[in-house]
Amino acid sequence: MIEIESTFSKTTDAATRQRLRPALGIATATARHIKKRLLRRRYATRAQAFDSTPTAGPKRRRRYYISLPYARAAGLGDKTSFASSADMHRKAGAAGGPGQVSGELLRSMRTRNYGRDAVIIEFGRSSLGASSKRSAITKRKSGEFEVSLSDNGKLRARQVRELSKNSDGNVKRRKKPRKVLNWKKATAVYAETGIGLLQPTPRENTAQLAAIADRYLATVVTTFGGVVVQVTSDRGDPTLFRDIQRRLDK
C-alpha cells in the first residue's frame, strides 16, 4: 500500500481546512500516483545517464566516494569507493534509480497546505546524504575572539572555537551523522539527471483536469435541473482519474 502523509499546519483554522480539503485530496491522490510510478522507475521526462567519470582523489587514481553511513543505508555494506557515480548507482541495484538509492527520499513525499490559499506536494524531513558523516564536536577557546566588521560598519566579536578531543588526543565526533534536507536531495537529483521527481506526466495532468471538470460540472448542472453530460472522452490516466473522483466525493 502506497501511503502519503497529508497534513495541515497547526495554525490553519477550521474554515481554511474546509476550503482546502478538496485541493489537498487532489494533491494527495496525485502524489500517491507519482510515487507508485517512481517506484517502477517511470519518470515524466527521460533521465540523463549518471556521471561515469571519477570525481575525487589522486590524479592517477581518481574515484567517486560516498560516506559509510550512506553506503550502509543504500545496502552497499562498507563499500564507499566506486569508479563513478554511475558505478555506485548500478551497484546499489534495484533501489538505484534517480532518487531511490536509499529509499528515504520517496518515503518522505507528503502533501500539505501552503498558507491559506494553496496546497503543495513536497519532500519533507531530512535523511542521510552521500556526504553524511559524523561531524566533529567543537568547544569555545577560552579568552580568544575573532573580530570582524559587519555590513553596517559595526565591530562584531565571535569566540574562537577549537576541536574537542578525548584523553587519547582523538577528535570527538557526534554519535549520528549529519542529514540532508530531502528537498535538497531532490534538487541534486534534478541537477545530475534532469529528472523532476514530482513532475506530473501529461496524462496525469489530463486526469486531474478531467476529474475536476467532471465532478463539478455534474454538481452545477444538476443544481439547475439539467442533464449531466461527459465533457471529454479523454480522461488521461484512468487510475488517477478515479482516485481523484473518490477523494472529491468524501
Q: Which pLDDT score is estimated for 157? A: 82
Q: Which pLDDT score is estimated for 82? A: 93
pTM over 0.85: no
Q: Helix count (H) and strand count (E) of the chain?
A: 7, 9
Q: Which pLDDT score is estimated for 126? A: 94
Is residue 99 classed as helix, strand or coil in its secondary structure? coil
Q: Which pLDDT score is estimated for 148? A: 84
Q: Which pLDDT score is estimated for 102? A: 83
DSSP string for 204-231? HHHHHHHHHHHHHHHHHHHHTT-----S
In angstroms, the CA 121 to CA 30 distance is 9
Helix ranges (DSSP H) in 67-198: 68-73, 85-91, 104-107, 182-193
Residue 21 φ then ψ, to 5°: -60, -45
In angstroms, the CA 130 to CA 68 distance is 9
Q: Which pLDDT score is estimated for 203? A: 95
Asked if 150 and 164 touch (Cβ cutoff 8 Å), the reply is no
The size of the chain, in residues, is 250
Q: Look up residue 107 and give its three cell numbers.
A: 518515503
For the chain, 250 residues long, give each residue's pLDDT as a single digit of tens. 688 999 999 999 999 999 999 999 999 999 999 999 998 889 999 888 888 888 888 888 899 999 999 999 888 999 999 999 889 988 887 555 788 888 889 999 999 999 999 999 999 999 998 888 877 777 787 777 788 887 787 888 888 787 777 777 777 777 888 899 999 999 999 998 899 999 999 999 999 999 988 877 766 666 666 655 555 567 899 999 999 999 888 7
In angstroms, the CA 80 to CA 175 distance is 19
The DSSP element (H or E) to which 240 belongs, if any, is helix 238-249
Q: Which pLDDT score is estimated for 8? A: 95
Q: Which pLDDT score is estimated for 12? A: 93
Residue carrying C-alpha cell 580568544:
144
Q: Domain segments of the chain: what residues?
A: 5-132+179-199, 136-173, 201-250
Q: Look up residue 57 and give its three cell numbers.
A: 582523489
